[in-house]
Amino acid sequence: MEKKTAVIPQSEVERQLAFCDRIAERTAQWEQTPLAAVITYGCQQNEADSERLRGYLARMGYGFTEDLEQARLILINTCAIREHAEQRALGNVGALVHGKRRHPEQLICLCGCMVQQPGMAEKIRQSYRHVDLVFGPQALWRFPEMVWERLRSRGRTFQVEDDPGSIAEGIPVVRQDGIKAWVSIMYGCNNFCSYCIVPYVRGRERSRKPEDILAEIRELVKDGYRDITLLGQNVNSYGKDLAEPMDFAALLEAANAIPGDFLLRFMTSHPKDATHRLFETMARCEKVAPVLHLPFQAGNDRILKAMNRRHTREEYLAKIRDLKSLIPDIVLTSDIIVGFPGETTEEFEDTLKVLEEVRFDALFTFIFSPRAGTPAARMEDPMPRSEKLANFNRLTALQDRISEEKHAAYVGKTVRCLLDLTSEDGAWPLTGRTPGNRLVRIQGDAAAAGQFRNVKITGANKWSLFGELT
Ligand code: SAH
Ligand code: SF4
Ligand code: F3S
């Protein structure tokens, strides 16, 4: 029998909120409203987690700042996906030691995927003594209790035990944007792609109940949100762990039925679990944006097997053909890793062939970075970095050409865009997104931000489109 997800009892979440209130009683007595700086690295899941941490902080009486000198509490939410992400976070944490010397009352908190890696907590304990509080993603819901303990006892707290994770509902959220919102529908990952650290640091796959997700979306739509992205590491395996199993296509359909003028997106999908039923649901649901992010990582079957992706190139291409036949104007994006251990330049060229055949609108491209504890980190990796870089540059050059060609095809068309930001750039005071999430820089009245409006596309380059309100 499949193991059911642990759900945190509501009384436990209430207990955390009570800690917030006790902290708020204290902070209310401080001379000034305390400010918190929240710095987030990594993916949208981390962004979404930071919004919940901000929700807790607001309830504790904190305001927010980006100025670290002003901050009474600094929270760094880290990522571990590649070595670079880790080094950046550690570099920034190291630099905080000087501020803490000037302001010993400052509380420095470190959370997220990086701290959950084996050995990392010990490293922080020894070498980053100015860090007060360290907790992994699975302990996030207990943040208020940790802050309370720290304020009371002055001891350092480490909450990084190996934890398959749970679901906690009812944590307050302070969102960063008023138009676009993230909604986590599931946490964790069970796939163990051989290069990837995520399953080790984010615990097992677990799904929120559909009624909680749908209630959150309804609330967002009521509050004026227009662009809602459902988040999970592999949304296509949503619902398998629920007491009453429900698949992702059914969830999407239920979300689509919520009244209001808004767009639904989702990420990420794993090709092995992306089905005809999903594509057909996307085609039928008018609020689901015509866009799919479907990482394929590599175009060679031997490499895909070594990556433990559990699909072949042909299976991937067949799914794309099926999707294009249902939604001809689908916008496609993908993730690619160059230089997986043992990948030859000839095998890498199979990746280029996939680009030529699919013609993605945009790509997220990475050079393989060994992550301690993953199988790929122990594989022979004879190719010199210079050769990997040369391949990487060939890949981006090809994609730049394709992106530019695809963007050029928009010129002259009128597209219904969601206008989001206003910018300082007088020539292009607005930016917007096509339904497929392509960036458009727009001439027109900045007051239109937050609305869906028709935009005539007048120009394009490889990064973005240009247009005017009609
Ligand atoms: N769950 C998502 C991806 C999450 S990580 C999925 O399965 O598609 C985002 C991307 O980072 C991955 O798709 C992969 O392309 C890249 N990535 C992950 N681990 C990596 C590593 N060790 N080195 C280089 N890139 C990596
Ligand atoms: Fe990592 Fe693979 Fe899980 Fe994506 S599906 S998070 S790449 S293990
Ligand atoms: Fe990074 Fe964790 Fe996301 S490792 S990419 S923040 S799931």
171 inside domain: no
Distance from residue 202's CA to the centre of ligand 3 (Å): 8
Pocket of ligand 2 (CB under 6 A): 189, 191-193, 196, 198-199, 233-234, 270
Distance from residue 70's CA to the centre of ligand 1 (Å): 35
173 inside domain: no
Residue 374 CB neighbours (<10 A): 18
Torsion (CA) 208, 212, 217, 223 in degrees, nearest 10: -130
Our mutation pick for probing the ligand 1 site, out of 87, 113, 187, 196, counting the most ligand atoms within 8 A of Cβ, is 196
Query: Is the distance from CB of 184 to CB of 45 less than 8 angstroms?
Result: yes
Nearest to 450 by CA among 189, 173, 179: 179
Number of residues assigned to the chain: 470
Ligand 3 within 6 A of 76 CB? no
121 and 197 inside one domain: no
- CATH number where 35 lies: 3.40.50.12160
329 and 263 inside one domain: yes
Residue 108's H or E segment, with its range, is strand 107-112
Rounded to two decimals, the pTM is 0.96
97 inside domain: yes
Q: Side-chain half-sphere of 140: how many Cα atoms within 13 Å?
A: 36
Q: Whose CA is nearest to atom 19 of ligand 1?
A: 196
> Which of 364, 390, 408 is the last residue before a domain boundary?
408
431 and 383 inside one domain: no
Q: Which residues contact 187 (CB under 8 A, 6 or more apart)?
A: 45, 137, 165, 167, 202, 203, 205, 206, 232
The pLDDT tens digits for 345-385 are: 999 999 999 999 999 999 999 999 999 999 999 999 999 99
445 and 347 inside one domain: no
Average pLDDT, the chain: 95
Euclidean distance between CA atoms 470 and 453, whole angstroms: 8
Distance from residue 234's CA to the centre of ligand 2 (Å): 7
Distance from residue 212's CA to the centre of ligand 1 (Å): 28
Ligand 1 within 6 A of 82 CB? yes
State how many domains the chain has.
Answer: 3
Euclidean distance between CA atoms 76 and 348, whole angstroms: 36
Task: Give the largest Cα separation in the chain, rounded.
Answer: 67
64 inside domain: yes
Q: Counting atoms of ligand 1 from 1, which one is nearest the CA of 374? A: 22
175 inside domain: no
Q: Which residues contact 436 (CB under 8 A, 6 or more apart)?
A: 289, 290, 291, 329, 330, 331, 361
Distance from residue 437's CA to the centre of ligand 1 (Å): 21
146 inside domain: yes
> Which of 388, 408, 428 is the last residue before a domain boundary?
408
Query: Is the distance from CB of 268 to CB of 238 less than 8 angstroms?
Result: no
> Which of 378, 408, 438 is the last residue before a domain boundary?
408
The pLDDT tens digits for 100-119 are: 999 999 999 999 999 999 99
Query: Is the distance from CB of 294 to CB of 332 less than 8 angstroms?
Result: yes
The runs of H, that is alpha helices, within 409-451 are none
Does residue 1 carry a pLDDT above 80?
no
- CATH number where 392 lies: 3.80.30.20
- pLDDT score, position 3: 59
Question: What secondary structure letter does DSSP report for 6?
Answer: P
246 and 388 inside one domain: yes
385 and 302 inside one domain: yes
Nearest ligand to the CA of 112 is 3
Ligand 3 within 6 A of 113 CB? yes
174 inside domain: no
Does residue 429 carry a pLDDT above 90?
no
> What is the Rg, in whole angstroms, of the alpha carbon atoms belonging to the chain?
23
Our mutation pick for probing the ligand 2 site, out of 196, 231, 296, counting the most ligand atoms within 8 A of Cβ, is 196
Ligand 1 within 6 A of 225 CB? no
Q: Which residues contact 259 (CB under 8 A, 6 or more apart)?
A: 221
- Specify the residue for token string 């304020």: 151
285 and 404 inside one domain: yes
Domain membership of residue 452 as a residue range:
414-469
Q: Confidence class of residue 24 from pLDDT cuts 50, 70 and 90?
A: very high
Percent of the chain with pLDDT over 90: 91
Q: Counting atoms of ligand 3 from 1, which one is nearest the CA of 202? A: 7
The pLDDT tens digits for 403-417 are: 999 999 999 999 999
The pLDDT tens digits for 157-173 are: 999 988 999 999 999 99
- Specify the residue for token string 């690619």: 336
Does residue 153 carry a pLDDT above 90?
no
401 and 439 inside one domain: no
Give the dihedral sign, CA 396/193/117/9: positive
Ligand 1 within 6 A of 363 CB? no
Ligand 3 within 6 A of 114 CB? no
The runs of H, that is alpha helices, within 114-266 are 120-127, 143-153, 198-202, 210-222, 248-256
